Structure 1
């Protein structure tokens, strides 16, 4: 079945990198690119009618301009406007079109964590029926290094499967943050240190078995590295992103509640790379 990518276009300068990435992804994967702009439904009917033509013309001009900048052929493209609440219309269009991925530009409220949760991007991430790609880096940057935080959750296994399926030629780093009970109180004692080392070794073996099971389901297996680091998952991840940012971060979503949503919002506040967020199952 032909793939379909949905790009939510807001015609802003910040949105240009995401538009370019959407065109490149569609071209490289032989997918159809549906470009949608959401209009204010409370505008007068006559204004909406005139605005639709102007917006579609602007989207076509931007598409042509970006293709020329990146020397890309034009993918099969559908340019369209809809009216409504942006996040709701993007999610609805994704359902109706049965798209394989939604592509969005990064939000404009960087450095303001208290405002991130209400952005269109954050709301789409919570409700999308497919992986969502948040783009903040230039489309000329190849996705050669992909970082995937891993644990034993269903969301993690699904995210890793999606990443392996979509990027079979990338180098994958699987990052797991671990914390052994008693480290603060007993960390300096020799017996405890030996027990801790055995537990970490057991954890690594368990993770490797999990990865091997996923590998057996796929034909093409990319280069993999499993990294275990001690500490809080968010702090471990942010430290890794600052020290050695990947080209793409693939993250699993566990919905609106819980620790994972806080991690996602922290990453959206200060994006160090492009982010792909996958649903939990």
Structure 2
């Protein structure tokens, strides 16, 4: 069955990198590329009629420029406009078309977390029925090095499966950040050092069992590097992204539940690489 990729196009200069990545992914996977632009429903009907034709023409012209810039053949493409709230229409179209992947450009107002929460990108991430790609880097950069934060939850396990399925040739690094339970309370205990060493060894063995079990659940798994870091998950992840940025970050999304929502918003505010977010199912 042919895959369908949905690219939400806003025709901005910042959106060009995401458009190019969408075209490249469609070509490489033999997928159909649906290019969607959402129009303001409150415009006069006559204006909307004229604007629809102009927008489709601009999307086609931009596709031609991108194909020439990257020397890409033209994938099977469907270009359309719809009217409504952008995030709602993108999610609705993704459901109706049963798309395999949504591609969006990164948020333009970087460094402003309070503005990210209500953006089209953030709202789509909360409700999308499939993985969502947030693209900010040029499409001529291969996704050879992929980082997958791993907490062994259902969401992170599903994210790893999606990553292996879509990028079977890439180098994968699993990053697990952990904190030692009871460390703060027992820090003044005279036998603290011995207790800590025992707990660390127990935790490492438990993590290794989790990794072994996870690898046994997957087929044809390539070499995967497991990196264990002690500390706050967000701090560990951001430090890694700043000092060893991957080509792509594959992250499980659980909506806006507590700490995990803060991690997602921080990454959208300062994208150090392209990001793929996956739901738990």
Q: What SS does the corresponding residue of 2:256 show, helix, strand or coil?
A: coil
**Residue equivalent to 2:21:** 21
- Of 3-12 and 150-159, deviating more is 150-159
How many residue pairs match? The answer is 281
Q: Which runs of 5+ in 1 are unaligned?
A: none
Residue 259 of structure 1: CA displacement? 1.3
Distance 1:82 1:170, change over 3 A: same
2:167 corresponds to: 167
Alpha-carbon distance, 1:153 to partner: 1.4
Partner Cα distance (1:55, 1:114) in 2? 31
Q: 1:181 to 1:214 in 2, by over 3 A?
A: closer
Residue by residue over 1:46-86, the C-alpha shift from the partner in whole angstroms, topping out at 9 and shown as x without a partner, is: 11111111100100010010011011111111011111000
Deviation at 1:160, TM superposition (A): 1.2
Q: Out of 181-190 and 208-217, give the one that drifted further.
A: 181-190
Counterpart for residue 192 of structure 1: 192
Aligned-residue Cα RMSD (Å) equals: 1.7
Partner of 1:69: 69
1:152-172, CA deviations, whole angstroms, 9 ceiling, x for partnerless residues?
311111111111111111111
* C-alpha displacement of 1:256: 2.4
The answer to whether the Cα contact below 8 Å between 1:170 and 1:223 also exists between their aligned partners in 2 is no
- Structure 2 unaligned spans of 5+: none
Instruction: Classify the secondary structure of the residue corresponding to 2:140.
Output: coil
**TM-aligned CA distance change 1:98 to 1:149, over 3 Å:** same
What SS does the aligned partner of 1:216 have? helix
1:102 aligns with 2:95: no
**Greater mean deviation of Cα atoms: 75-84 or 248-257:** 248-257
Distance 1:165 1:144, change over 3 A: same
Task: Give the match for residue 115 of structure 2.
Answer: 115
- Alignment check: 8 A CA contact 2:256 2:262 kept: no
Bigger shift: residues 195-204 or 171-180: 195-204
In the other structure, the counterpart of 2:280 is 280
